[in-house]
Structure 1
Amino acid sequence: MLPELLLKVHRIHDWVTELLQRSQGTFLFQGPWFASMDFLVTADPANIHYIMSSNFSNFPKGREFKEIFDVLGDGIFNSDSDLWRSQRKAAQMLMNHQKFHQFLVKTISVKVGKGLIPILEHVAKEGKAVDLQDLFQRFTFDSTCILVTGYDPGCLSIEFPEVPFSKALEDAEESIFYRHVVPERVWKLQRWLGIGEEKKMKKAKETLDRIVFEYIQKKREELSKGIQGERRSRRCGSINIIHE
C-alpha cells in the first residue's frame, strides 16, 4: 500500500475519502513492517459512536499516542480515563450552557456578516482568485480565538495578513504525520539532536505557546481595565450622591 500512498500524498485527504467510499466507510491501511503505519480508518457513524462514546474505555490512547501528539499537552484530545472524564464533563457544561450558545451564535454571525461576506464580495468584484481553504481557516481561527480567549486576532480581513499561529499549526501537523511514518527511534533521535521535522515541531510549539500567552494576556488587560473603569464609575457616583 505504500507506493500508492507516496503517489497520492499530495492529495492525501481526497485519496482517503475515495478509499473510505470504496470500502463502505472503514479501511485498514497496512504500511511496511519497519514503520508505525498500520491504521484502521473509519468514517462510519456507528463505529465512531462505539469508539468515542458507548465503549470509550476500551479504546485508551496510551503512551505512544500522547508522545506523538505532545503538542496537545494534557488536554481532552490527549487524556484518558479520569482526566478525560473530568475535562469532558467541564467541556459539556460549557457547551451546553445557554449563554455559551448565545455567544457562539453572535460570534459566528458577526464574523460572517463583517468578515466572510465582505471578503467574498470584494474578490468577486475585483475578479480575484481566493484560496477557500485559507479563507475558512482564517474564519475558524478568528471565531475559535474569540470563543476561547475573548480576543479577536483579525485574521479574516481583505488584507489577508500573515497568521503565524496558523503556519505553526500546519508545521506541527506535518511533523505529527512524519512521526506516524518513520520508526519512533528515528524521530526521537531527531528531537534529541534538534534537526529535521523535530526542529520544525519545536519552533511550532514555541510559536503556539507565545501567541496563546499573548491572547490571554491581552484579555486579562482588557478585563482589568474594565474592572478599574467600573470602580471609577462607582466612586464617581458615590461622590455625586454625597455632593447632592
Structure 2
Amino acid sequence: MNPLIVIPARMAATRLPNKPLADIHGEPMIVHCWRRAVECELGPVVVAAGEQEIVDAITAVGGQAVLTDPNHPSGSDRVWEAVQKVDPDGKHDVIINIQGDLPTLDPALIEASVAPLAEGEVDIATLVVEITDEEEKVAPSVVKAFVGFEDGRTVARALTFTRATAPYGEGPLYHHIGLYTYRRDALARFVALPQGVLEKREKLEQLRALENGMRIDVSLVDTIPLGVDTPKDLEKARRLLQG
C-alpha cells in the first residue's frame, strides 16, 4: 500500500469560528494536526483547505496544502478534490482522511486505521473504542459501531453504525472514531453516490457506503482522540499539548 494522508479543513464552524486557525501555543490548530499526521510516517501529508488562510498557515511551516471548493457538502468530497489535484496519476492507492480538529491525535491511531485493508475485500477502514461510560452508551451524540470481535482479534467487519444503543444484550458497545482510510477507488465511488435513506435518517455519512454494498472494517483501539469543537475543547487541547 502507498498511502496519502489528507486533512480536510474549512473556516466555517458554528461553535468555534475560524477553528483551523485557533491558536495553540503559538501555532494554528491545523498545523498541530498536520504535525501529528507527519509523525506517523505512513506517507505524504496534504491539507485540503477551504480557504486561502489555511493554505498559508500550512505552507508557512513547510507543509503542503491545496485550495479546494469551499462549498463541498462533506469532508470526503474535499479530500477527493485534493487527491485529484496532488496525485492525478493515481500513484497513491490508499487515502487516509484525518479530521482537521484533532490536534492531540496519537499517530499510532493513524497506523491502526490502515490495518483492516490487509483484507483485500475491505473498501473502507476506520476505528472504534470500547465504551466504558454508561451515559455514552445511551447518548445519541456517541455513534456506535455494530461489530463483534472474535477472541484475540482487534479487527472486525462493521455491520452498521447507529446513534441508538446497539447491539442489544450483554457485551461491550463500541464508540466509532471518525478517522477513515479508503482504497482510492472506493473513495472515488463513495463521493459519486447519492445520499442514502439511512444516512439521512441517522445523519451518518458512512451509512451511504454500507447502503451501497461497500465493506467497512474497523480496528479496535484503546483511546479516543480529542475533537476540538468548542472553546472548552480548545482549552483542553492547549493543556494536553503544554510543553
Q: Common fold, TM-score beyond 0.5?
A: no
| Structure with more relative contact order (C-alpha pairs < 8 Å, separation 6 or more) | 2
Could you say which structure has the higher strand fraction? 2
What TM-score results when the alignment is normalised by the length of structure 1?
A: 0.25
Could you say which structure has the higher helix fraction? 1
What TM-score results when the alignment is normalised by the length of structure 2?
A: 0.25
